[in-house]
Amino acid sequence: MAAFASLTEKLQDTFKKLRGKGKLSDKDVEAALREVKLAFLEADVNYRVVKDFMSRVKERATGHEVLDSLTPAQQVIKIVNEELTSLMGGEQSKLEIASNPPTVIMMVGLQGSGKTTTAGKLAALMKKNGRRPLLVAADIYRPAAVKQLQVVGESAGVPVFSMGTDTDPVDIASAALEHAKSHGNDIVVLDTAGRLHIDSELMDELKNITSAVKPLEKLLVVDAMSGQDVVNVAEAFNERLGISGVVLTKLDGDARGGAALSVRAVTGCPIKYVGLGERLDALEPFHPDRMASRILGMGDVLSLIEKAQQSFDEDKAKHLEKKIRENSFDLDDFLVQLQEFRTMGSIEDVLGMLPGVNMGKLKNLQPDEKDLCKVEAIIQSMTRHERANPEVLNSSRKKRIAAGSGTTVQDVNRLLRQFSQTQKLVHQFGSSVKGKKGKKPRFPNLGLPPF
């Protein structure tokens, strides 16, 4: 995750030094903890939060729990992981759902935080989970705010309730609630107005909406890239409005990540969701334990498995199994697997969930999303016969394919080498599963681009 790349790199370097020492002394632990403290401060974590966090870690790390352990370095890492998880809330804080629908969710925040887009993403997630959400355009001040929500709602396949820009937001919210009750919508997501700064007028309006529709959830949407301002905004909204949770957006951006580690400790309000991109499905529930694991470079295998399961197509998997058994895996199958891989999100995000992979250290080796498009274009520029029989691709055919896909012959050759390696892997795997009827392939995504 881009927001924590620098922090992850520094922590991994610190822990690597610890592992190389074997038995640790008090001085070794003290030196390592100083580096951990500096890494957190450089990541823009609130100073008070760092001070309290390091106090708890130091108390545990300089005691018998570490120094008398057979694997002291691992114990230090375990302690940091546990305390980091606790710092961010300990357990996942799920969205509250009303026993008597509809559940009203009010999205609040400053302008530019991604509130409207997040409202659409949340509605899309609710719909995916079997709910019947209704988006409500209650921001009558920002130019084109209503239109933006309508566009987002259409993309998500979620209805949008609006009454134009001449009606009081409190009346809009009240009318939307009645509309939801009469139309069977069990989730109402209110997109309220924001400001460039916190003022009494904004807070009074939000309080009036709260009194009128009594939202079960008041989610504050904040931009992770705004650093310590996130903490200040969260404190102000919580003090004057009483928020139930936070949504951190733009965690895929070039932020230092400190906000995510500070906001829960400073406000006491849990982070419920994080935004990881522009796509409508780029909103994920926040799991403190998984986030801690990713920050420490230990990966996030559970989230990776969940992404794979969401993208997994049962029919395509059966077809792939058949092709593997028959040893007839071709470029069409390679393309299908590539497309399945793409539905899991950005390559950087997926690789960041693997243990030991630090995207910050990859730097220029980071996979480019354009590579995926390039591979797709090359294969789609081939005839069906060429996809099924790549051995027929001579020099003139490769030139035609390169011209048709807007690539070079070198790109085509690079893809064919990658495919050849994948085909060998598939052949080896096919030999191992022959005769095991009904057994699914253990790795559904084989079509990786030539990075």
The string of pLDDT tens digits covering residues 147-165 is: 999 999 999 999 999 998 8
Q: Which two tokens stand for residue 276?
A: 């990881």
DSSP code for 220: E
Q: 94 or 1: whose pLDDT is higher?
A: 94
Note the pLDDT of residue 174: 96
For the cut 70, the answer to whether the pLDDT of residue 113 exceeds it is: yes
353 in the same domain as 419: yes
Q: Is residue 205 part of a domain?
A: yes
Residues 6+ apart with CB under 8 A from 401: 378, 381, 382, 386, 393, 412
Under 8 Å between Cβ of 250 and 114 = yes
Q: Which two tokens stand for residue 11?
A: 């922590």
The band of 265, judged by pLDDT with boundaries at 50, 70 and 90, is: confident
424 in the same domain as 334: yes
274 in the same domain as 232: yes
3-class secondary structure for 277-334?
CCCCCCEEECCHHHHHHHHCCCCCHHHHHHHHHHHCCHHHHHHHHHHHHCCCCCHHHH
Q: Which two tokens stand for residue 443?
A: 């790795």
Note the pLDDT of residue 72: 74
For residue 253, the SS3 value is coil
Q: Is residue 30 part of a domain?
A: yes
Chain CA centroid to CA 451, Å: 22
At 327, which CATH number?
Answer: 1.10.260.30
- The 10s digit of each residue's pLDDT in 131-146 is 999 999 999 988 889 9
393 in the same domain as 319: yes
Q: Which two tokens stand for residue 248?
A: 């951190």
For the cut 50, the answer to whether the pLDDT of residue 435 exceeds it is: no
127 in the same domain as 28: no
Of 349, 309, 338, which is closest to residue 415 (Cα–Cα)?
Answer: 338
Note the pLDDT of residue 321: 63
The band of 312, judged by pLDDT with boundaries at 50, 70 and 90, is: low
Q: Is residue 95 part of a domain?
A: no
Number of domains in the chain: 3
For the cut 60, the answer to whether the pLDDT of residue 305 exceeds it is: no
* Rounded-to-integer distance, Cα 50 and Cα 262, Å: 9
DSSP code for 266: H
At 7, which CATH number?
Answer: 1.20.120.140
Note the pLDDT of residue 30: 85
Q: Is residue 447 part of a domain?
A: no
Note the pLDDT of residue 176: 96
Q: Is residue 445 part of a domain?
A: no
Residues 6+ apart with CB under 8 A from 200: none
Q: Is 192 left (phi over 0), alpha (psi -120 to 50) or beta?
A: beta
Note the pLDDT of residue 342: 62
309 in the same domain as 206: no
- The 10s digit of each residue's pLDDT in 167-201 is 999 999 999 999 999 999 999 999 999 887 788 88
For residue 223, the SS3 value is strand
For the cut 70, the answer to whether the pLDDT of residue 320 exceeds it is: no
For the cut 60, the answer to whether the pLDDT of residue 378 exceeds it is: yes
Q: Is residue 363 part of a domain?
A: yes
Under 8 Å between Cβ of 26 and 67 = yes
Q: 114 or 352: whose pLDDT is higher?
A: 114
* Rounded-to-integer distance, Cα 195 and Cα 403, Å: 50
Under 8 Å between Cβ of 249 and 224 = yes
At 140, which CATH number?
Answer: 3.40.50.300
Of 163, 128, 448, 424, which is closest to residue 281 (Cα–Cα)?
Answer: 128
Q: Is residue 395 part of a domain?
A: yes
* Rounded-to-integer distance, Cα 193 and Cα 219, Å: 13
Residues 6+ apart with CB under 8 A from 204: none
For the cut 70, the answer to whether the pLDDT of residue 34 exceeds it is: yes
188 in the same domain as 140: yes
312 in the same domain as 342: yes
175 in the same domain as 118: yes
Q: 378 or 446: whose pLDDT is higher?
A: 378
Under 8 Å between Cβ of 29 and 61 = yes
Q: Which two tokens stand for residue 368?
A: 């480019």
344 in the same domain as 278: no
Mark which of 235, 265, 298 sits at the end of a domain: 298
The band of 362, judged by pLDDT with boundaries at 50, 70 and 90, is: very low
- Sheet strand arrangement including 133-138: 160-161, 133-138, 187-192, 103-108, 217-223, 245-249, 271-275, 283-285
Domain span including residue 222: 103-298
Of 27, 55, 28, which is closest to residue 40 (Cα–Cα)?
Answer: 55
* Least confident segment among 39-53, 111-125, 272-286, 360-374: 360-374
Q: 205 or 426: whose pLDDT is higher?
A: 205
Q: Is residue 440 part of a domain?
A: no
* Rounded-to-integer distance, Cα 295 and Cα 7, Å: 7
Residues 6+ apart with CB under 8 A from 64: none
- Sequential DSSP letters for 87-114: HTTSS--PPP--SSSPEEEEEE--TTS-
- The 10s digit of each residue's pLDDT in 268-286 is 889 999 888 788 888 989 8
323 in the same domain as 275: no
Note the pLDDT of residue 450: 40
134 in the same domain as 240: yes
Mark which of 265, 281, 298 sits at the end of a domain: 298
The terminus-to-terminus CA distance of the chain in angstroms comes to: 19
User: Is the four-CA dihedral 246, 349, 126, 197 of positive or negative sign?
Assistant: positive
